[in-house]
Amino acid sequence: MRRLHLLFIIILFLPFFLVGCMGGKIDENMSEQLPDFEYTTQDSEKLSLEDLKGKWWIASFVYTNCTTICPVMTENMVHLQEQFKDKQLDIEIVSFSVDPEFDTPEILKQYAKEHQVDFSNWTFLTGYDFETIRNLSVNSFKTSLQKASPGTGNDQIAHGTSFFLVNPKGKIVKKYDGVGDKGQEEAVEDVKAIQ
């Protein structure tokens, strides 16, 4: 009878133990399902949400004419990419242009080369109109995006400075500071935990 009782306890708790051993848990601070999309890459190919299914990926919003925060964000993402590679962490990086009218695939590719981006796991996207990317930014990623007011002499686009972790089902699960070092450190630790 004791054996049967012990066997019952093992069977009851085994799934919880196995789940705990199958990868770490991260402290999620978002829970937003992305809508289907299909946009154009820096190589003039198509990339869709369906193509990213089954993969963890980090997203950012930048544009090539940005003179303020985008160069910092891009350099931080380059640094993140190097850390992922050094630690042999398998993750994709996707950067959405918030200035799709100007940022053609060729311009995005040149920008990425200037920042020494490794294209093996990093894709830049364009090929939509501003309203489409604004809706994705505001409604799904919950981050601001606004064109400069006409007649102000300012052509800079105001956008959020976060990086976002997206799970293999296309759900945004975490937001990080894309400007400071702490966000990068946290992203590396989280990606290690989910591998």
Binding site for Cu cation, residues?
66, 70, 159
* Cβ–Cβ < 8 Å for 154, 66: no
Which of 122, 50, 126 lies closest to 92, judged by CA?
122
Alpha-carbon gap, residue 160 to 96, rounded angstroms: 12
| Binding-site annotation: residue ranges | 66, 70, 159
What three-state secondary structure class fits 41? Answer: strand
Phi-psi region of 127 (alpha: psi -120 to 50; beta: other; left: phi over 0): left
Using DSSP, state whether 59 is helix, strand or coil: strand
